[in-house]
Structure 1
Amino acid sequence: MRTIEEKLQEHKQNMNIIQAPPELEDRLRNALQQVPTKKKSKPRAVAWVAAIAAAVVLLAGTYQYPAFAYYGGKLLSSMELSSLSFSDVVDHGYGQTVEKSKTLDDGTVITIEGVIADDNALLLYYTVDLPEGSVFNVDESIRFGIDKLHSFQGNSNVREGYGNYSDDRTRFMGVYKFGPVSPFSRTLTVTFDEWKGKERLLYPISFKYDANKAMNSIIKEKLTASVPVDQGTVHYDAITASPTSTIIKGHYELDNGEFPRFMGKTKLYVNGTEVGARGGRSSNTGDKPGFELEYDIIPTDKVESMQIVLENFSGYQKVEEPISLASPSDRSILIGNEKLWIRSVTRTGTGYDIVIARKQFTFLDTDTLAVEAGGITVPVSNITQSRPWDLKNGNIMWEQTYSFNTDVKPEKLMVDGFDYIKTYNKTITVPIKKNE
């Protein structure tokens, strides 16, 4: 019997982001709301989402992406790529120039300048130029969004958007990051949208797509590795490293067959140096819940060692003995490696209320939660929403009130266990395949 609040705090994103065959897949678009940054002459990236859990193996793809200058002096991270104008991107040897425009009725011109694509993502560079005499109000959000990007394999999800205004505020320069598109696509269609009152206007722009120009080289590795956790196993399936990011894919095999309550935190190390984590998202891998973790690019062309470290993940602590309610106080009770606080036991008009405090992401198993009162087992009748409890020492716990319908003062609290974020620190060493 979990509370609505507990369910809301569960990290179970059920976004389906695996690549299915083209005829089966129609990716759903995530709504994107852009927020302008400070004035600069070049766009500045908004921070990418950051990461958790994974591992690896080098897989040979069925399609070999054009391999020009992945490593070496021209290598730039996606943060660097997205902070450059497209002309600067081209100067670094990246991308396909598009220069396809649409002029709106009021004279506004939307131009797709170019794209960079690989097996992990597609970056689309665009500009919006206002008619002569008009300027952007930089205190408002940019009026145009992206409705979708359609390719040979279907619709690609929007993952990020960022950009900035020119110094004279007549131009907006933006970058959108999408999920990967099929290398066999020949035409891409990007649909911009804007709202005028209650009417939503759509502006599709189609352009020829050339994978040989847009794509840089790809490194794929495959790993059949796993880490046992309290309620199942975390499996690490593959890693793909590209100029836009490093993606680790995996799946869960948990006792309940569902996504974990907490995805936890997974670190990636290359040559002993941690690779920056940028985000994580849930996916479906066949009939099994899966995940994708995004990291920065691998910062070297000489990979001597690679490790995946599952630092923490969802854990479950069994409570073997009933907890005494004889002397409630603000002192903690150590159970395993976690602590609970029985703060008070108070008589009410309908029974007794017990206030229990715990860490923010620790959740009691309430399905069988009960008290022993006068030799009788009384189940919990009501649970309040959690509220902060400031310990005044830099720590904030979260407390809830649990109500029990009994006229007899409870003597013991009976709980099967609780979910929490458990430290695992399990390391997987990835075999390195030397490139010929």
Structure 2
Amino acid sequence: MAEIEDMLRKQGEKFNQIEPPPEMEERLHLALENSSMRKRSGKMWSLRVAVLIMILFLFGSQIDSFAYYGKKLLGYDQIMTGTLRELNELGSGQTIGKSYTFKNGVSITLDGIMLDDNQMLVFYTMKDPRGTVDELYSNHSMSLRGLFKEYQMHSGQGNMNEEKTVMKNMFQFQAPLFFEKKLKLTFYLGEGAQKETGEIPFTLDWTKAMGHSIKKPLQAVMEIDGNKIRFDSIIASPTTTVIKGQIQSIWALAQDEMKGERIRPYYMDLKLLANGREVSRQGSGISTGMKGITFHQEFDALPKDLKELKLQLASFTADFDVHEEVELNINDREKSLEILGQKIVINEVFHKNGDTFIKITSEENVVLTQVDLIIDNEKVDLEETTTDQYEKKADGAILHTRILRFPGSGSKLKLDIQRIVYEKNYHKTMDIPLD
């Protein structure tokens, strides 16, 4: 009998610590209404056995719900996207629950991860009893290493409590290779001689990985002003959708370099349309390497009832080599010129305090990134740009007026425009087959 009482006491303590799902109350209420009243036995042991049976019933019927609550990552709602919150509610991902404490009392707990074919999301809690977790966050770094390589960290964000003692963090890493099993997350805290390293090793459970819903080559090309943008692949996974491609091949890049006609892409405004609705953008990147100029665009996860998928190139912003020379006179007013289809107006040219000033107006997305002034056959660098003014036109266009100041003055002036940045709208759309 003592053993039964001890078991009941321990199970009761555990049960009191559990927060049951909202639907449990209704289920118990219905169960009590449907059950018949039984005559109370005069023996205490039979009552205890009945209570034990009830506890076993509760644990048996709700074991999935309790396990479900144990798998959720708590405290991350404010830094999760809607998609990630839904996955978390479903108990997706792998809980870890391993910690490391530094000498200064700061602790880091790896709460869990979410892994699919596009990325691995790492969720960890940083605690600082001194209330300076915000300072620690800016002075800490981390790395993720597997058997043969270190996996690249893409981005991260955190949310801190008011006392500055706890910060919940979510960081995005490159997805580990399929054969990885043992991984090690290393944290670096502090700077200089005060820098300390902490390691949290953990084992990947590939049965918790979420894979992908779409993974296919695109082999599509969009041509814009003589340049071909190639779309190579799309991978849609439960956490994100990634599209990769190429803006310029290594050979075309080398040819343009030799001809002095380089294109330096700044930004591609790509829109992903699922069932006619825009999928929210999560990030993007453009890089130059041995594969030429490549890009990747990240969007939110696709809807489950996907029927149609389109990709739209809304606009393209780049820095172009132009090497355009424009002769100027000190009395020039409202002189208009066109470079790569972009209108630039020379409003005024004047001398002041021994310097030469040129007032120009263009659309706000047009920037002269490299411009010099040739004064009496001598080239001088731009000293500064001043007096920024913006004017919104009736058609919605915004004009930007500014004054360029060059040191020195002379009678023979020539504006040497070598590079120009501008954004051009295209709104070209292509279908992405779903079969």
* Bigger Rg, structure 1 or 2: 2
Equivalent position of 1:162 in the other structure: 157
Does residue 208 in structure 1 map to residue 212 in structure 2?
Answer: no
Counterpart code for 2:380:
S
1:429 to 418, 426, 431: 431
Counterpart code for 2:336:
I
Does the Cα contact within 8 Å between 1:283 and 1:291 map onto a contact in 2? yes
CA-to-aligned-CA distance 1:299-339 (integer Å, 9 cap, x gap): 2332323233243343869799957657544x573637533
1:43 to 71, 76, 84: 76
Whole-angstrom distance in 2 between the partners of 1:79 and 1:191: 26
- Bigger Cα displacement from structure 2, 163-172 vs 227-236: 163-172
Equivalent position of 2:239 in the other structure: 244
Equivalent position of 1:104 in the other structure: 102
Equivalent position of 1:226 in the other structure: 221
Equivalent position of 1:305 in the other structure: 309
1:185 to 148, 157, 180: 180
Cα distance change, pair 208–266 in 1 and its aligned pair in 2 (3 A):
same
Equivalent position of 2:273 in the other structure: 269
In proportion to residue count, which structure has more helix?
A: 2
2:93 to 86, 92, 95: 95
Counterpart code for 1:239:
I
Cα distance change, pair 315–139 in 1 and its aligned pair in 2 (3 A):
closer
Whole-angstrom distance in 2 between the partners of 1:239 and 1:362: 32
Whole-angstrom distance in 2 between the partners of 1:385 and 1:261: 25
Does residue 340 in structure 1 map to residue 335 in structure 2?
Answer: no
Shift of 1:107: 4.7
Does the Cα contact within 8 Å between 1:113 and 1:127 map onto a contact in 2? yes
Cα distance change, pair 256–105 in 1 and its aligned pair in 2 (3 A):
same
- Bigger Cα displacement from structure 2, 274-283 vs 384-393: 384-393
Cα distance change, pair 361–354 in 1 and its aligned pair in 2 (3 A):
same
Shift of 1:183: 2.2
CA-to-aligned-CA distance 1:334-374 (integer Å, 9 cap, x gap): 63753323232224687854343434542448689758x8x
Equivalent position of 2:115 in the other structure: 117
Does the Cα contact within 8 Å between 1:360 and 1:398 map onto a contact in 2? no
Whole-angstrom distance in 2 between the partners of 1:319 and 1:285: 25
In proportion to residue count, which structure has more strand?
A: 2
Equivalent position of 2:299 in the other structure: 295
Equivalent position of 1:256 in the other structure: 256
Equivalent position of 2:19 in the other structure: none
Cα distance change, pair 246–89 in 1 and its aligned pair in 2 (3 A):
closer
Equivalent position of 1:56 in the other structure: none
**TM-score with structure 2 setting the length:** 0.66
Does the Cα contact within 8 Å between 1:334 and 1:340 map onto a contact in 2? yes
- SS of the counterpart of 1:193? strand
Counterpart code for 2:433:
P
CA-to-aligned-CA distance 1:88-123 (integer Å, 9 cap, x gap): 955513111222222334554322121111122111
- SS of the counterpart of 2:267? coil
2:404 to 400, 407, 411: 400
Shift of 1:222: 1.3
Superposed, 1:298-377 pairs within 5 Å as 298-314=302-318, 325=329, 328-329=332-333, 331=334, 333=336, 335=338, 338-347=342-351, 352-364=356-368
Whole-angstrom distance in 2 between the partners of 1:320 and 1:238: 38
Whole-angstrom distance in 1 between the partners of 2:239 and 2:272: 16
Equivalent position of 2:9 in the other structure: none
Higher relative contact order, chain-length normalized (CA < 8 Å, sep 6+): 1
Whole-angstrom distance in 2 between the partners of 1:277 and 1:298: 12
Does the Cα contact within 8 Å between 2:189 and 2:197 map onto a contact in 1? yes
- Bigger Cα displacement from structure 2, 286-295 vs 193-202: 193-202
- SS of the counterpart of 1:264? strand
Does the Cα contact within 8 Å between 1:279 and 1:294 map onto a contact in 2? yes
Shift of 1:403: 6.0
Cα distance change, pair 339–298 in 1 and its aligned pair in 2 (3 A):
same
- SS of the counterpart of 2:190? strand
Does the Cα contact within 8 Å between 1:165 and 1:173 map onto a contact in 2? yes
Shift of 1:129: 4.2
Equivalent position of 2:13 in the other structure: none
Q: CA RMSD in A?
A: 3.8
Shift of 1:213: 1.3
How many aligned positions are there? Answer: 347
- Bigger Cα displacement from structure 2, 344-353 vs 204-213: 344-353
Equivalent position of 2:382 in the other structure: 383
CA-to-aligned-CA distance 1:128-183 (integer Å, 9 cap, x gap): 345xxx35346645377332111245222222222334577654332221122212
Cα distance change, pair 348–409 in 1 and its aligned pair in 2 (3 A):
farther
Cα distance change, pair 183–259 in 1 and its aligned pair in 2 (3 A):
farther
- SS of the counterpart of 2:208? helix
Cα distance change, pair 183–167 in 1 and its aligned pair in 2 (3 A):
farther
Shift of 1:293: 0.9
Cα distance change, pair 339–195 in 1 and its aligned pair in 2 (3 A):
same
Counterpart code for 1:333:
S
- SS of the counterpart of 1:299? coil
- SS of the counterpart of 2:305? coil
Shift of 1:127: 2.0
Does the Cα contact within 8 Å between 2:235 and 2:241 map onto a contact in 1? yes
Equivalent position of 2:25 in the other structure: none
Does the Cα contact within 8 Å between 2:324 and 2:416 map onto a contact in 1? no
**Percent identity, aligned pairs only?**
25
Whole-angstrom distance in 2 between the partners of 1:301 and 1:183: 29
Counterpart code for 1:115:
I
Does the Cα contact within 8 Å between 2:98 and 2:200 map onto a contact in 1? yes
- SS of the counterpart of 1:262? strand
Shift of 1:204: 1.3
Cα distance change, pair 332–90 in 1 and its aligned pair in 2 (3 A):
same
Counterpart code for 1:287:
K
Whole-angstrom distance in 2 between the partners of 1:427 and 1:360: 26
- SS of the counterpart of 1:256? helix
- SS of the counterpart of 2:307? coil
Counterpart code for 1:387:
T
Does the Cα contact within 8 Å between 1:316 and 1:419 map onto a contact in 2? yes
Cα distance change, pair 370–268 in 1 and its aligned pair in 2 (3 A):
farther
